[in-house]
Every structure is written in C-alpha cells, then in structure tokens.
C-alpha cells in the first residue's frame, strides 16, 4: 500500500513511535514503520531504502536516545539526499546533537509532550500535512493545497478550522509517466548492431580524411622535390606544344632523345650543370630556356643524346627567341662519355 511518510525512531522509543503512527493514520496519513511494514523474509536495509524512496516526508521521533542511534542517522542522511521534507517530533524536552542537529537546522519542530499524545495529535497531523503540501514531488490541486494550509495553521494556533474548510486527505503521488519505447531495429538487424556500424563508418571516414590531408600537406611542403622527381627543374620547363612565352624554346627536331643539356656563358663553353635535371626531351618535344637575372642572354649550348652523341650550339641568345631546333644542324660529334 502506498504510504505518505516514513517514520524514523530509535529502538528505545518504539512505543512512542507506534503511538505517533496510530495518531497520524487515524487522521488519514499513511505511515511506513519498521518492523511493522517490513515483509517477512525481505532484506531489512533494502526495505528501509525502498520505503524512504517512496515516501514524501520523514517523521523523525526525537528524544534523548536519538543521537545514539546509528540507524536514525543513516535514515536521516538518506532522506536529506533524496530531498524529503523532515518533520521532527519531540516526545520529550531534548536537543539533537552532532550531524543530526545540522540536518534539522531548518526544520520546524513539533512537540507532543507532556503526555498523553492525544491533545497534540491534531496539531501533529496538521504539521505533517504542511510538509506534504510543500513536497514538490506530489501533485496537489490548488484548492486542496489551500485548504490543507488553512486547516494546518488553524490547528497549530489552537483554533478550529474555518467553517466550510474540509480537512483534506493527504495527497497521493502522481502516476509515473511510462518511458518512451525505443524505436524498433530494422528488419534482420539486431538493435545493438546499428550504432556499432554507424560508429565504424564514421571512423573510416575520419581515417580517409586524415590520409588525404596528410598527402596534401606533404605535397605542399615538398613541392620542389616533387617537381624534380616528376621531371621538372628550376631552369627549364618541359612542354609538348609551342607557346608564345618569353625565353628561348628549344625543340628536339631530331629522332633521338636529349638526355642532358649544358649551357655556359658565351665564350666560356658549356658548364657542368645539367639544365634538364631529371627530365628528358623526347623527339618532337621542347623545353623553354630562361636565363637567370644577371646572367646575360648569350650562352654556349651542348645537347647530349641517348647513346652519347653530342650537339653543340655556341652563342645561343636565350632572350631573342622564339625557338632553336636541335637535330637539324649545328656541330655534332660522337662521345663515349656521359
């Protein structure tokens, strides 16, 4: 049966706690009290925790025995951690000590002494109803809450309730909202596999993106080296079709591939630097020769073909353009050195 309050007391105060429980239940407030409400064979600690969790307030019996009860301290700490309203009920003139005093610092105390209990019962029930009305976890109609507050205040002041003000029954917790069901899995697919597959797909996409970004970064950092590996040098540009650009376009009009190209200032002979780098000029292809700033325009040129044949062109003007055709003239000689 659902209960409104959890009754906490020291073992030495069991008789007084039973009297308080009877007085409250006679006035419509359902109590949970151990050991009365612990089912046979149930775990004691689990039953206490469950009862506190389902209650809307805790009625704490205070006496000189309370501070020495470990069970009372544990029950109060549990109730405070769950946000339950505490209603301390003193059955004798005493003050709680230790941590218990801290937990009860903001609570309104109710006194039911000197005995007997019956003259204090109405005020006791009114105070408990006030605590239940303040419980945010209980849904109370506005009119019922107002009636409870008015009746409780009148009872605490020793006056009868205003005419026409009924003493309402204690509130009941609202029906719990059922949890929303999870969407069913697709046909033929276990429910746990869909999130795993989605996570695996996302991981693969991130790995591919990381690889692409890494390749792009390497290409940007090592552009010059990549250009050399692909057959491009800083001194010449390989092309397969003529283009009207500044410089001298050197065309391989012969039938053999040019493997090396050496140039030097006119009168000094071709230098040791290979202007082609790793590139080659195949028959019908061309390269564009440009002089560096400050080097002048006239150069002596030596082209080395596959097989070692050499063709030399002295006094070539790199600035005059438009093109110079190899393999159609000029001095050529066979050479065994490369």
pLDDT of residue 240: 44
Q: Are residues 146 and 273 in the same domain?
A: no
Q: What is the pTM of this model?
A: 0.43
Sequence-distant (6+) residues with CB within 8 A of 22 are: none
pLDDT of residue 214: 84
Is the residue at 193 inside a domain?
no
Is the residue at 195 inside a domain?
no
Is the residue at 184 inside a domain?
no
Residue 137 pLDDT greater than 50, yes or no? no
Residue 244 pLDDT greater than 90, yes or no? no
What separation in angstroms does the CA of 126 have from each of 9, 118, 172?
Answer: 20, 13, 16
3-class SS letters over 88-137: EEECCCCCCCCHHHHHCCCCCCEECCCCCCHHHHHHHHHHHHHHHHCCCC
Give the CATH number, domain containing residue 43: 3.40.50.10140
C-alpha to C-alpha distance for 130 and 71, rounded to whole angstroms: 26
pLDDT of residue 242: 45
Q: Are residues 150 and 240 in the same domain?
A: no
110 confidence band (pLDDT: 50, 70, 90): very high
What separation in angstroms does the CA of 43 have from each of 10, 46, 91, 297?
Answer: 19, 5, 30, 104
Q: Are residues 143 and 265 in the same domain?
A: no
Q: Are residues 258 and 149 in the same domain?
A: no
Residues 131-152 have a mean pLDDT of 59
Most confidently predicted of 8-22, 175-189, 238-252: 8-22
Range of the domain at 10: 5-156
**48 preceded by cis ω (within 30°)?**
no
C-alpha to C-alpha distance for 51 and 31, rounded to whole angstroms: 10
- Would you give the distance in Å from CA 167 to the centre of its chain? 52
Q: Are residues 240 and 120 in the same domain?
A: no
pLDDT of residue 337: 39
Q: Which residue has the higher pLDDT, 150 or 74?
A: 74
Is the residue at 79 inside a domain?
yes
Q: Which residue has the higher pLDDT, 147 or 59?
A: 59
pLDDT of residue 58: 95
Tens digits of residue pLDDT in 33-91: 999 999 999 999 999 999 999 999 999 999 999 988 999 999 999 999 999 999 999 99
Residue 121 pLDDT greater than 80, yes or no? yes
Which of residues 102, 127, 156 is at a domain's end? 156
Which of residues 105, 137, 156 is at a domain's end? 156
Give the CATH number, domain containing residue 316: 2.60.40
Q: Are residues 151 and 277 in the same domain?
A: no
Tens digits of residue pLDDT in 283-329: 999 988 888 787 888 999 999 999 899 999 999 888 877 888 998 86
Most confidently predicted of 175-179, 217-221, 330-334: 217-221
Which of residues 124, 156, 188 is at a domain's end? 156
Tally of domains within the chain: 2
101 confidence band (pLDDT: 50, 70, 90): confident
140 confidence band (pLDDT: 50, 70, 90): very low
pLDDT of residue 186: 61
Is the residue at 151 inside a domain?
yes
Tens digits of residue pLDDT in 193-233: 666 777 888 889 999 998 998 888 777 666 656 555 554 44
pLDDT of residue 96: 86
Q: Are residues 13 and 152 in the same domain?
A: yes
Q: Are residues 271 and 152 in the same domain?
A: no
pLDDT of residue 148: 56
Residue 156 pLDDT greater than 70, yes or no? no
């Amino acid at each position: 049966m659902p209960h409104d309050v959890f009754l906490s007391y020291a073992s030495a105060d069991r008789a007084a706690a039973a009297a308080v429980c009877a007085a409250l239940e006679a006035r419509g407030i359902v109590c949970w009290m151990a050991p009365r409400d612990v089912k046979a064979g149930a775990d004691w600690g689990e039953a206490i925790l469950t009862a506190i969790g389902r209650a809307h307030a805790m009625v704490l019996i205070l006496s000189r025995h309370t501070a020495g009860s470990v069970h009372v301290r544990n029950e109060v700490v549990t109730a405070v951690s769950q946000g339950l309203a505490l209603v301390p009920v003193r059955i004798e003139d005493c003050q709680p000590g230790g941590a218990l005093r801290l937990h009860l610092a903001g609570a309104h105390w109710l006194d039911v002494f000197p005995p007997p209990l019956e003259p204090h019962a109405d005020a006791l029930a009114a105070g408990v109803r006030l605590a239940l009305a303040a419980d945010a976890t209980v849904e109370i109609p506005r009119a019922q809450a107002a009636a409870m507050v008015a009746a409780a205040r009148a009872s605490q002041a020793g006056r009868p309730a205003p005419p026409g003000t009924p003493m309402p029954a204690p509130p009941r917790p609202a029906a719990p909202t059922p949890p929303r069901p999870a969407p069913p899995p697709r046909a033929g697919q276990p429910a746990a596999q869909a999130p795993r597959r989605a996570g695996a797909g996302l991981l693969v996409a991130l790995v591919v993106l990381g690889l692409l970004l890494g390749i792009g970064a390497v290409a940007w950092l090592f552009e010059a080296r990549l250009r050399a590996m692909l057959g491009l040098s800083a001194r010449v540009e390989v092309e397969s079709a003529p283009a009207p650009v500044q410089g001298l376009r050197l065309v391989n009009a012969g039938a053999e591939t040019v493997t090396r190209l050496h140039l030097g200032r006119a009168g000094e002979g071709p230098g040791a630097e290979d202007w082609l780098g790793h590139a080659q000029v195949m028959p019908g292809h061309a390269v564009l020769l440009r002089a560096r700033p400050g080097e002048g325009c006239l150069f002596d040129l030596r082209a080395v073909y596959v097989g070692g044949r050499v063709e030399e062109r002295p006094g070539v003007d790199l600035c005059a353009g438009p093109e110079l055709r190899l393999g159609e003239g000029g001095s050529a000689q066979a050479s065994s050195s490369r």
